[in-house]
Amino acid sequence: MASRLAACEACRKSKVACDHKRPACTRCASNERAGICIYRTTPFKRKRAESATPSAQPSPSRVSPAQAPPLFARKNPYPNPGFLGSSSHVAIFNQISPETYHTSDNAHASEPDMATIMHSQVAGENLLMIQGADVLRQLLNTFPLAAMKDFVMFWLETGANMSLAEPFVEKCTENMTRLFTSFSQEDNWHLAYAQRLTQNSRMPLEIRTTADISDFSAQFLDQNFRWESLGIFLCAVSRATIAISFFPPLYKTEKDQFTLRKLSTSLSDLALDIALSLDCLNDLQLVLQYENFIIHTHVDGDQSFHSWSRLGNVVSSMFALGYHENVEKSKPPIPNFLAELRKTAWAITYSADKNVAIFLGRPPRMSKRFCHFQLPLNPPDSMISATNAWDRHTTWNEDTPFCYRAGIRWAALCSALKEDVLELLRDRQRENFNQKASAVREKAAVQWEKLPSKFKLSSTLKECSADAFKRDMLASIRLDQLHVIFLLHLSFIDSLTEPDPTIIDVSDQMLGLVIETILLRDQLVFSGTSVIWKIAHYGLPAAGIILLSMLKQSHTLTEARTSRSKTLMNLGIFVAQVQVGSMVRRGDPNYALISKATQTIERFLDSVHRDGAHIPAPPPSHPVENGEWDTFFSQDLCDFETVFWDNLADHPSLLASDHALPSI
**Dist. CA 506–CA 456, nearest whole Å:** 16
Residue 287 amino acid letter: V
Alpha carbon separation from 563 to 74, 460, 479 (Å, rounded): 67, 16, 20
Q: Per residue, what are the HEC states of 410-437?
A: HHHHHHHHHHHHHHHHHCCCCCCHHHHH
pLDDT at 164: 97
What b/e string do you get for 334-348 counting C-beta neighbours within 10 Å, with b at 16 or more? bbeebbbbbbbbbbb
Residue 104 amino acid letter: S
Domain ranges within the chain, ordered by starting residue: 1-31, 119-299
Residue 613, Ramachandran bin (φ over 0: left; ψ between -120 and 50: alpha; else beta): left
Rg (CA), the chain: 29
Cβ(383)–Cβ(397) below 8 Å: yes
pLDDT at 71: 45
Residue 401, Ramachandran bin (φ over 0: left; ψ between -120 and 50: alpha; else beta): beta
pLDDT at 66: 39
**Dist. CA 392–CA 387, nearest whole Å:** 8
pLDDT at 145: 92
**Dist. CA 518–CA 538, nearest whole Å:** 12
pLDDT at 15: 80
Q: Where are the alpha helices (DSSP H) in 300-403?
A: 305-321, 336-360, 389-393
Cβ(191)–Cβ(63) below 8 Å: yes
Q: What is the pTM for the complete model shown?
A: 0.82
Give mean pLDDT in consecutive 10-residue pieces for the chain, a chain of 664 residues: 72 83 81 69 55 40 44 54 68 60 45 44 70 90 93 96 97 86 64 88 92 95 93 97 95 94 94 93 97 96 93 96 93 93 98 95 94 92 69 90 97 97 82 88 96 94 93 97 95 78 92 95 93 94 89 51 76 90 84 87 84 51 47 52 61 50 38
From the list 529, 473, 525, 490, the residue with the least C-alpha distance to 351 is: 529
**Dist. CA 396–CA 399, nearest whole Å:** 8
pLDDT at 27: 84
From the list 375, 376, 356, the residue with the least C-alpha distance to 366 is: 356
**Dist. CA 589–CA 11, nearest whole Å:** 48
Cβ(169)–Cβ(156) below 8 Å: yes
